[in-house]
Amino acid sequence: MEKYLINGGRKLSGKIKVESAKNSVLPILAASVLTDEEVVIENCPKIADVTSMLKILNSLGVKTRFDEDSLIINASGILEYTITETLSKELRSSVFMMGALISRFKKVKIAYPGGCDIGLRPIDIHIAALKSLGVSVTEKEGYVNCLAEKLTGREIYLDFPSVGATENVILASVMAKGKTEIKNAAREPEIVDLMKFLNSMGAKIYGGGTSTILIDGVESLSGSTFKPIGDRIEAGTYLIATAITGGEVEIKGIDVKNISALIHKLCDNTCKITIKNDIIYLKSGGKGKAFSFSTGPHPFFPTDLQAPATALLSVADGVSVVTENVFEMRYKHIPELIKMGADITVKGKTAIIKGVERLHGASVTSFDLRGGASLVVAGLNAEGVTEVTGIKHIERGYFNMPQKLNALGADIKRIN
Ligand code: UD1
């Protein structure tokens, strides 16, 4: 069984560069089917979720190839509009194919998407929005069938600022007739990045980063070469890993305002943080103090950093209270942290964490991507060896995590 063996207790130190953001790249890959012309994604991370998305594109007849770190995509030969259950279940982002294919070809049949098991992840907001644009949607035997004669822009109010639904509406409406206005849109930086990519193809989308997004439908889109933003969740994970080991690390490739919620918490703590352009330098000041936070849509504390932050707080001085407001089942890492000596009680959405002196090594299982990252973070602090299984979840979103951490002085072995 594939696993990581982490020999804990080493301070991280050195320099590291983050990959392009997974959550930018995945909708951008879906958006690449909106043109017959060549699209180049520079600095495309070779993570498992990208591989899964490429499998979906290839199954439709899209040609893709890597030229070093650049991914070259040509969607001129699409022949297929069905995304099978096997492919769709591999990742949540398969859902972006719904907006992209309906936009370009006015038809798509897709099995319900998979992804991390972190609670109910319905797609009702996506579907309601597509219907508003004129798409006829039927759901049968695990598949969503979408058909449209034409797509017509209009005002769409999202019941919740869902990241995926906002992106799907953008994809679906970019070539619709007239103007679409998304109210209560999500404001995540990756949505702004998707908009920049589409605008570089000739789209007219305004208001990124605010809760009202305006899309002025265009006739067609052209090819583009685009470099997505750096991965704020990867950067946040490595900042937390540095803090928990009492280390000193420079992280390059990240716009700090995209993770200011975490930075504020770490600055208020014992960490010294310096920012210069796209570089964040963190020097831990020793054992951290407890802090509390509630996750929420951007710019609130990102749910994707909740699990790594929980690991950090499990060895902080004092009691922290964490509230997970975005997903119902995002605490699967907590029983695993408890195996490592953490003192955490979960009551509904809230986790109460009493910091202990230090964690100890144990055999633990990663059940989802960010929960898995939190176990690696915990293992870096722990006394002795931590064995993390279920690493396929971690590798969906972190490229070469053991290699990157080992380059900073960690001792992690990947066993095949
Ligand atoms: C995206 C991110 C994921 C992140 C999450 C929240 C990508 C590829 N993934 O996921 O890393 O954790 O945003 O920041 O960008 N919901 C509904 N109905 C819907 C859609 C969503 O009830 O139709 C609910 C979800 O179940 C969840 C909440 O809304 O409880 C937030 O989901 P959403 O913002 O859509 O997250 P994703 O796009 O799936």
* Domains 3-19+230-415 and 22-226 in one fold: yes
pLDDT of the residue at 113: 84
Give pLDDT tens digits for 293-328.
Answer: 999 999 999 999 999 999 999 999 999 999 999 998
**CB within 8 Å of 248: residues ≥ 6 apart:** 11, 12, 13, 242, 281, 282, 283, 284
* CB 166 near ligand 1, within 6 Å: no
Q: Is 92 a pocket residue for ligand 1 (Cβ < 6 Å)?
A: yes
Q: What residue's CA is closest to ligand 1, atom 17?
A: 122
Ligand 1 centroid to 301 CA: how many Å? 14
CA-proximal residue: ligand 1, atom 15 (nearest): 23
Domain 22-226: which CATH number of 3.30.200.20, 3.40.50.150, 3.65.10.10, 1.10.1740.10:
3.65.10.10
107-116, 304-313, 343-352, 396-405: the lowest-pLDDT one: 107-116
DSSP element (H, E) containing 279: strand 279-283
- What percentage of the chain reaches a pLDDT higher than 70? 98
Q: Sorting pLDDT into bands at 50, 70 and 90, what band is 156? A: very high
Q: Which amino acid is at 349?
A: K
Q: Does 114 score more than 80 pLDDT? A: no
Q: Please tell me if the CB atom of residue 163 comes closer than 6 angstroms to any atom of ligand 1.
A: yes
Assess whether pLDDT exceeds 80 at residue 115: no
User: Strands 155-157, 204-206: parallel, antiparallel or unpaired by DSSP?
Assistant: unpaired
**C-alpha–C-alpha distance, residues 265 and 145, integer Å:** 45
Q: Report the separation in Å between the CA atom of 14 and the middle of ligand 1, taken as the mean of its atom positions.
A: 34
162, 182, 184, 192, best to mutate for ligand 1 pocket (most atoms within 8 Å of CB): 162
User: Tens digits of per-residue pLDDT, 362-378?
Assistant: 999 999 999 999 999 99
Domain range summary for the chain, segments of one domain joined by +: 3-19+230-415, 22-226
Token pair of 66, please?
């890597």
pLDDT over 70 at 119, yes or no: no
Predicted confidence at residue 17, as pLDDT, reads 97
Which is the catalytic residue, given 116, 146, 267, 271?
116
C-alpha span between 316 and 289 (Å, rounded): 5
Select the more confidently predicted residue: 268 or 85.
Answer: 85
271 is catalytic: no
Per-residue confidence band for 112, with pLDDT thresholds at 50, 70 and 90: confident
Question: Given the CA of residue 123, which atom of ligand 1 is nearest to it?
Answer: 23
Expressed in angstroms and rounded, the spacing between residue 317 Cα and the centre of ligand 1 is: 32
In percent, the amount of the chain with pLDDT more than 90 equals 91
What is the distance in A from the centroid of ligand 1 to the CA of 412?
A: 31
pLDDT of residue 328: 85
Q: What pTM value is reported for the model? A: 0.96
pLDDT at residue 270 is higher than 90: no
pLDDT band at 141 (very low <50, low <70, confident <90, very high): confident
Dihedral sign, CA of 354, 355, 361, 363? positive
Average pLDDT, integer, range 320-345 = 96
Q: What are phi and psi of 249, to 5 degrees?
A: -135, 145
How confident is the model at residue 329, as a pLDDT?
83
The answer regarding whether domain 3-19+230-415 maps to CATH 3.65.10.10 reads: yes
Distance 303 CA to ligand 1 centre (A): 10
Q: Where does the pLDDT of residue 118 fall: very low under 50, low under 70, confident under 90, or very high at 90 and above?
A: low
Inform me whether the pLDDT recorded for 159 exceeds 70. yes
Kindly state if the Cβ of 405 falls inside 6 Å of ligand 1. Answer: no
Alpha carbon nearest to ligand 1 atom 39, residue:
164
